[in-house]
Amino acid sequence: MITMLFNQEQRRHHTMMCLAAVLIYHCFFFIVALLPNYAALYHSGFAALFVGLAVSLPCTLLLWRYYNHHYPFMPLGQFNPGYFALGLLAIIALNIVWQFLGIEEEWVASLKNYSVSARWGLAFAICFIAPFCEEVIFRGFLLNAFLRWGRFTRQQSIVVTSVAFALMHTQYHAPATFIWLFTFSALLCVVRMSSGGLLLPMLLHMLNNTASFSLSTMS
């Protein structure tokens, strides 16, 4: 049953559902990390693919389906060439600035040390699974949690979502990296709200990760 948000109680319930979905999603990561031999799986390079296929993707799809059964605020949307082109240009400009700074994270540099099969698994997880799941969780659930409140402007919702997105990427350490992640998230939030769906942010996120992963493993 689709529910519209006509009063404060309905908005509060919607916000709590969105925040609960974000919490449930991330709790699974901590649970998986407690599994026996997870450390060995992580160091082998196959952890990202395992977690993506066994946890992230199923959890995201179930949460998204449940939400769409109750609310109409998280559609996939349609492809809009204009918004896609503008978003792509903005992300290219952001990456040019990043390359100019010349900052290399230890985690990114370590990708070249894995076996060929592990790198293929990482590529699929980083370039496709992660962008899909992160867009549903961050630009979907977390952004929606605050957008429906009149006292929360769009700008404030973008800031909250982007701060959370940056902080959850715990594999990075350089302060400049978190600024980049915050800006990247803010751009995707704008694209999501402008296009009315998650399709364009997903595609842009996938393209960005594919380009970054390719450059990191081939350089």
The predicted model gives 70-92 an average pLDDT of 95
How many Å apart are CA 38 and CA 109, to the nearest integer? Answer: 21
- Give residue 150's pLDDT: 67
What six digits make up the tokens of 121? 């698994």
Q: Which of 183, 171, 199, 211 is nearest to 51 (CA)?
A: 171
> What residues does each domain of the chain span?
8-218
- Give residue 219's pLDDT: 62
- Average pLDDT taken over every residue of the chain: 91
The predicted model gives 42-48 an average pLDDT of 90
Please provide the DSSP assignment of 106-145 as one string. Answer: HHHHHGGGS-HHHHHHHHHIIIIIHHHHHIIIIIIIIHHH
b/e burial code for range 193-211 (CB count within 10 A of at least 16 → b): bebebbbbbbbbbbbbbee
The predicted model gives 142-160 an average pLDDT of 85
Exposure on the CB side of residue 33, measured as CA atoms within 13 A: 5
What six digits make up the tokens of 84? 């896609």
The predicted model gives 98-117 an average pLDDT of 81
How many Å apart are CA 134 and CA 137, to the nearest integer? Answer: 5
How many Å apart are CA 122 and CA 173, to the nearest integer? Answer: 20
**Residue 102: band (very low, low, confident or very high) from pLDDT cuts 50, 70, 90:** low
User: Under 8 Å CB-to-CB from 198, ≥6 apart: which residues?
Assistant: 74, 75, 76, 77, 135, 136, 139, 140, 192
Query: Model confidence over 1-25: pLDDT tens digits?
Result: 556 666 788 888 999 999 999 999 9
Query: Model confidence over 169-180: pLDDT tens digits?
Result: 988 888 889 999
- DSSP code for 207: H
Q: Which of 40, 198, 60 is nearest to 130 (CA)?
A: 60
